[in-house]
Structure 1
């Protein structure tokens, strides 16, 4: 791996938009030189409007601001919104944008799913929270449960480097393959590592980190993941951990924002439950988190789900964290979640109707076993980011929602 473990960091857990957005917006307001932001989604709701305001304020006082969004996740952003940002000096980039065909988005695979904010190369945020009001509790029953971290110290140098590597694609440059020397001073006692997943240099990094952590588990392992449909090898490691006496606990979606996801996940329950894995479904609101912990030290927070899209196709970013205090804080939170806001899935319940699900389960496991090879069948393009200006946006008349249409160069 080209991103090493870094000593001397500080990390703060941020739960949901109520903790995340105020910290991010305050940091952007305090920025002196640079703001680099990557996200899958920006909606033009109250959160998107606040983001627009702080980015414009920063750009107008001379801060270099670069915002990179995904062409699929942020397809509905409007031309006036873009114009306000670009006219203020914000550099806006779109990853793999494509026009719709018959009203449908066509850039389905290999999305920019990372959520990263770096301010002045001294402070960074990494997690799974998009810039949209559905990450706030007042959104209603479908408000998402999610997580991010705020970090300071040498690890920020690596997060900053990851953001610059993506921007280098826009210029058609090869990312720097040499590890950077940390420019940030020690801020704490936490060991951390940046883990990326892409379709070039880091195709299996996050999955490998998960598997190594699962193999190292001695007595407890908790995974809370929104879209849980991992590869066969990872499933086998979870079962093996439970067999050797590790208390393996999974927190899955019980109130999903995408019902098909829960259907797929439940096909795996029988395989895991019969070897002692404990499964809870979180039922208070849709679970959007991507966090895990092992024993008393290791934890991860980031954008990567444990599903085929995240593990084999998307661009993702997680932080691996070794710190007893952080691990315990996350453990106490997830334990409370499991105890008070989840329902426990039993093997007896799963076995009802098993006879008709058995063929589907058989096919599911074979799909998971061979998905890494299947992923190679999907378009393996190398998109180049292109700065987006208001001139690139088309504003159709008499349409309430406007999409961005911009040019992109591709090499196949």
Structure 2
């Protein structure tokens, strides 16, 4: 069993949050303790047991006269029931969908709201990759999907809440708005909120990954749920490998998107050729998007290392410059690695038949074409 980080040893203003009950108990508690205003922005919100639990907390907050704004992605939350929307609005909760799949003039796939954010009273926030659904919470008999978030308390929540407000109300100035400040929590810990929305010129997460990988000295650990990086990331990893940096990738052994996983497998030979260590997580679905570099730089959020996140979606990560936080997160990820299947050149050769190589190639080609189409449609629509 994977050990969780002892929160008593981590600054209270900054805590790593795990998928499962850890995340949802925090989410519920923040909603229950809110007094003035809540912003919840999610890609996927399912009306299952976990979703109903959070909906109940939101309705109770609305009864306390808390202003609540819920923004869901038009594709990710396409199945969100119309009757529940009516109930929420009747309760006084403001809810709308970002980029509905069908509009009055087009069928629209691109530019999704992929970030997962909760902010309350401009004082506390949860930012990560965890959606609201039973599969992220798990059960007595089933492990939750492996994913992470960060709870941050304090002044950093104020500009984040303003940003969520501007997005909800479609304020034009939010398009280029960035949270530029690095908030200092203690002597060795600073935190930044990073965004990616390539259409609006925000490439902060992608650029931060590339810069940190290029400047790595000792070790890189990446959790990559849908790992299909573009050429810039591949080149940065190749350079780090040439500089004798140890690189460990935690990848999906099981995936909710089998074709994407097979497309990733197509890259295994190249990655192993660069002396990159590959580890497949098979205990549950891997959905995490995180990294630790040199035991001092960490990033956790919604950003996948693929072109959809780089060029198609609105993403948000927390970047943490902290030796204490990163060391503890690195320890946890090494515990995850101990439970993974190590993919070596020998094992890859043994289990990969000619047919499987062909399937991986076809999957890679189809996935890249789909990425191209989906990332192109937002720009066509935007410029029209």
Same fold (TM over 0.5): yes
Displacement of 1:378 after TM fit?
2.2
How many Å separate the matches in 1 of 2:167 and 2:323? 32
- State the match for 2:333 in structure 1: 334
Distance 1:276 1:198, change over 3 A: same
How many Å separate the matches in 1 of 2:301 and 2:183? 23
2:95 aligned with 1:92, yes or no? yes
How many Å separate the matches in 1 of 2:27 and 2:363? 44
Displacement of 1:258 after TM fit?
1.5
- State the match for 2:172 in structure 1: 173
How many Å separate the matches in 1 of 2:183 and 2:301? 23
Q: How does 1:10-21 map to 2 (within 5 A)?
A: 10-21=13-24
Q: For the Cα contact (< 8 Å) 2:198–2:310, is it kept in 1? A: no
Cα displacement string for residues 60-101 of structure 1 (whole angstroms, at most 9, x for unaligned residues): 21111000000111111112211221111100010011349x
Correspondent of 1:35 among 38, 50, 60: 38
Q: For the Cα contact (< 8 Å) 2:179–2:194, is it kept in 1? A: no
Displacement of 1:179 after TM fit?
6.5
Q: How does 1:20-99 map to 2 (within 5 A)?
A: 20-99=23-102
- State the match for 2:118 in structure 1: 117
Q: How does 1:124-273 map to 2 (within 5 A)?
A: 124-138=125-139, 140-141=141-142, 143-169=144-170, 173-175=172-174, 188-189=186-187, 190-273=189-272
- Structure 2: gaps spanning 5 or more residues: 1-10
Displacement of 1:107 after TM fit?
3.7
How many Å separate the matches in 1 of 2:363 and 2:86? 49
- Structure 1: gaps spanning 5 or more residues: 1-7, 383-409
Cα displacement string for residues 1-43 of structure 1 (whole angstroms, at most 9, x for unaligned residues): xxxxxxx993100111311111111111111110001001111
SS at match of 1:81: helix
Distance 1:210 1:187, change over 3 A: closer
SS at match of 1:222: strand
Displacement of 1:163 after TM fit?
1.1
How many Å separate the matches in 2 of 1:108 and 1:285? 28
Q: For the Cα contact (< 8 Å) 2:115–2:314, is it kept in 1? A: yes
TM-score by length of structure 1 reads 0.81
Displacement of 1:180 after TM fit?
7.0
- Root-mean-square deviation (Å): 3.1
Q: For the Cα contact (< 8 Å) 2:42–2:73, is it kept in 1? A: yes
Distance 1:207 1:181, change over 3 A: closer
Q: For the Cα contact (< 8 Å) 1:9–1:187, is it kept in 2? A: no
Cα displacement string for residues 211-245 of structure 1 (whole angstroms, at most 9, x for unaligned residues): 00101111010001110001012012112212211
Q: Which has the higher helix share?
A: 2
Q: For the Cα contact (< 8 Å) 2:19–2:144, is it kept in 1? A: no
Q: For the Cα contact (< 8 Å) 1:304–1:318, is it kept in 2? A: yes
Correspondent of 1:345 among 343, 352, 356: 343
Distance 1:30 1:187, change over 3 A: farther
Cα displacement string for residues 89-129 of structure 1 (whole angstroms, at most 9, x for unaligned residues): 100010011349xxxx9543211100000000011110011
Q: For the Cα contact (< 8 Å) 1:168–1:175, is it kept in 2? A: no
Distance 1:33 1:322, change over 3 A: same
How many Å separate the matches in 2 of 1:72 and 1:374? 16
How many Å separate the matches in 2 of 1:74 and 1:372? 20
8-17 vs 18-27, greater mean Cα deviation: 8-17
Q: For the Cα contact (< 8 Å) 2:101–2:108, is it kept in 1? A: yes
2:296 aligned with 1:289, yes or no? no
Q: For the Cα contact (< 8 Å) 1:308–1:371, is it kept in 2? A: no
How many Å separate the matches in 2 of 1:181 and 1:306? 22
TM-score by length of structure 2 reads 0.87
